[in-house]
Structure 1
Amino acid sequence: MTARPAFQALGALRLAGRVGRAAAVLLLVAVAVLALPHLMPGSPAVAALGPTATPEQIATYEASLGLDENVLAATWRWLGNALHGDLGHSLSTGAAVTTELADRIPVTLELFVSAQVVALGLALPVALFSAWRPGGAVDRIATAGAFVWLAVPGFVLGLLLIWLAAVQLRILPATGWTPFTEDPVENLRHLVLPALTLGLTEAAVFTRTLRGQLLDTLDQTYIAAARSRGMGTVRLLLRRALRPSSLPLVTLIGIGVGTSLGGSVLVETLFAVPGVGSLAAGAISGRDFPVVQAVVVASAAGVVAATLAVDLLYRKLDPRIADDHR
């Protein structure tokens, strides 16, 4: 009993240390991103406004980016404003960047969650069956199919889905978006193609990853003991093998939460989905530095938060990890 409070205190200290390291990483990312306009050769104002810009226009543009200050002063001011919910204003539209992100992040997260449902719905049964019968027909087909899907670029798969579902069958819209609050049915119809484009590619990665882990787990002694006691195949796979084998899968999904904020540029642009990816693409092409900086920092924050969540979830999925740290 006396050891339990000590273990809890040690766990709290380790958690505080992870949070501190995560905050330090996020701070370094913010400083690096905010320093980019200062480190670029020449003036970003000339590149954005063109060679005919007047000195007054250039000075106003540079002041809007904080280029009239040194890097540390501009970074400190931006971070102070960010803590109060002010990420600046878009140079293209004049809208508050906080408002832009608040409108776009739910769309990207909805697309991400839908893609994970597709990927897991395909990967779990295929990986379980392939690992239970390695070298069988299903395993060979799944392995070949996974390599094919991994070799197909995402935009090619998206175009094929548009051609099939929107052009040939005419059962789904090719592009566009309808918010769920306006029309849930239309929201689902517009969500299907981009979710399939992301989900099918991720399903191939999930299948290969989970199959490899399941093969290792099924060779463990406790699995053989469960078989000898007459445990059924389905229960053995789901109750004994899947949980310890799912740790790499949890990592992939967790990191995907953060990277989806900036990594879905191609799919969102292809299907005209008004998410963070399309916002970043428009900001990059328009040299809208405040929006680009906010998207990068928000993506970094998502990755850091997801990493912490995955680390905590590891201990729930496999108690041996917590025991090792003790």
Structure 2
Amino acid sequence: MSDLSFSSFCGWLKFRHLTLIDTLGRTRNMHLAAEQMNLSQPAISKMLKELESLLGFAVFERLPRSMPPTALGEHVVRYAKIALSDASLFVEQIISLREGGHGYLKVGGIFAATAVALPSAIVQIKQHWPLLSIEVVEQTSDHLMEMLEEKKLDLAVARFTNETQQHRYDFQALAPEPFKIVVNSRHPLCDTGPTPLEQLGQWPWILYPVGTPIRGRMELAFAKAGIPTPKNTIDTISMQTFLQVLQTGPMIAMLPESMVGPHIDSGLLRPLDTPLYLAPQDYGILTRKGEQLSGAALEFAEILLENAKLDREKNT
């Protein structure tokens, strides 16, 4: 067992070691890792042995056809990924500042947030930071939290999908996310009055994919209503696909009100009058537990919170 300490670790570990760990973690193959790092396989092997000697344990198993991380190695691979992501963000910020910019902000959002909350906040922060580079990632809550943990995002606007996430992320609620059951304006159900539950399953549906948090909540809503989840479905997380398919066929969809509201107002979509109901769930600002925001990320969060407060006051 090596005498590992923080000072010895910092004095010896280099970014090339982190790159090696990350590359091997992805490829699980010494030959592929050597190719991707543009080094010889003996050089890669020597570097890995030195690192494992410092740590005092094997980071990767040596199997005939693969090199999966060991139990302790999983922690090393995760650290390498986070450290490299953090370094990449630092370099992007420095380049932006050197070229006269105001830094770099990377924000993740669920579909409800990217439809309403994020665009208005982006316009506002651009008035204060006109040269700020902003990247927006649209994904499900679970994927956004993974990116947040790996430091690929400064903050995310999403929702918790299970209780364990509350121990890893701080949450500031912005607004509930109500859903609407909608069809296009030519759908036969538009002119039949209230739609009985049993009729809903007779039409094709567009749903979020199985395994996503929203799909789980939708299946629970069907179960509470006493009807089976539709079998004739198109599963997607693409809002563009949702809206395009809705316009071209007699489909039913359950979508965030923020997404379909403008299309309902324009007459392209119609909400169904049905007892099927999905309870709203708050979405909000998610950050890494105990990690304070600063600079543009802090101001962006403050804008989001202030806008949410004004919206609540307007609706009361």
TM-score of the pair, normalised by structure 1: 0.26
Could you say which structure has the higher strand fraction? 2
Could you say which structure has the higher helix fraction? 1
TM-score of the pair, normalised by structure 2: 0.27
Structure with greater contact order relative to length (CA < 8 Å, sep ≥ 6): 1
